[in-house]
């Protein structure tokens, strides 16, 4: 399941921020902010995307770089939130 979440996020970033379908154009560990991939407005787009796609609710206090600054971090966050919201 982690792989599916990662793949979905990876594909979304490629298509909506990098405007490519080349999987090699994005490393899952690359910082969205440091690499200039996503800006502050883009983070809001990401929030809407993960809420709609994965059925989670992102709280304001969760909008932190450790949750939203790379494909890997975002996938981990989504997994944690899904588990948290199920209990």
Going from the first residue of the chain to its last (87 residues), give the mean pLDDT of each consecutive group of 10, the final group possibly shorter.
90 97 96 94 95 96 95 97 86
| Domain of 46, in residue numbers | 2-86
Helix (H) or strand (E) holding 6, with range, is helix 2-13
DSSP-derived secondary structure letter, 35: T
**The CATH number of the domain where 81 resides is what?**
1.10.1200.10
**In this predicted structure, what is the pLDDT of residue 21?**
93
Q: What is the pTM of this model?
A: 0.93
DSSP-derived secondary structure letter, 70: S
Q: How many domains does the chain have?
A: 1
Helix (H) or strand (E) holding 24, with range, is none
Q: Which two tokens stand for residue 46?
A: 């990401």
């Amino acid at each position: 399941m982690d792989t599916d979440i990662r793949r979905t996020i990876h594909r979304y970033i490629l298509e909506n921020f990098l405007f490519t379908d080349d999987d090699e154009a994005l490393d899952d560990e690359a910082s969205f902010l440091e690499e200039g991939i996503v800006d502050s407005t883009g983070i809001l787009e990401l929030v809407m995307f993960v809420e709609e796609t994965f059925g989670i609710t992102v709280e304001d206090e969760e909008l932190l770089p450790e949750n939203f600054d790379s494909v890997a971090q975002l996938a981990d966050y989504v997994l944690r939130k899904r588990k948290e919201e199920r209990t």
